[in-house]
Amino acid sequence: MELLITIILFILVGSMVTLALCNRYLPKWFCDHIGWHLTPTTQDFDGCSLTGCCPRCGKSVLQDSQGNWF
């Protein structure tokens, strides 16, 4: 039983680390062609929406209602 829990924990942690690494090191191609941008380190509010500057491609981005940056 303990072995099973250990295996499940390893899978969970492993998939989270993989997701985090993919999100961090996805190529700039995703910025240009799909529109996935990284969360800006500095964020402003222009009176209507959150704005920022994508740290990967340098483009100015907006946050949508789902919390994603485009």
Shortest Å distance, C-beta 65 to Zn ion: 19
| Segment interacting with Zn ion, rule: CB under 5 A, options 4-12, 19-27, 47-55 | 47-55
Diameter of the chain by CA atoms? 54
> Which residue lies nearer to Zn ion by CB, 14 or 58?
58
Structural contact between residues 43 and 51, judged by C-beta atoms closer than 8 angstroms:
yes
| Segment interacting with Zn ion, rule: CB under 5 A, options 5-13, 14-22, 26-34, 40-48 | 26-34
Give the neighbor-by-neighbor strand order of the sheet with 60-62.
Answer: 43-45, 50-53, 60-62
Nearest to 23 by CA among 69, 58, 64, 65: 69
54 is a site residue for Zn ion (CB under 5 A): yes
List residues binding Zn ion (CB under 5 A). 31, 37, 54, 56-57
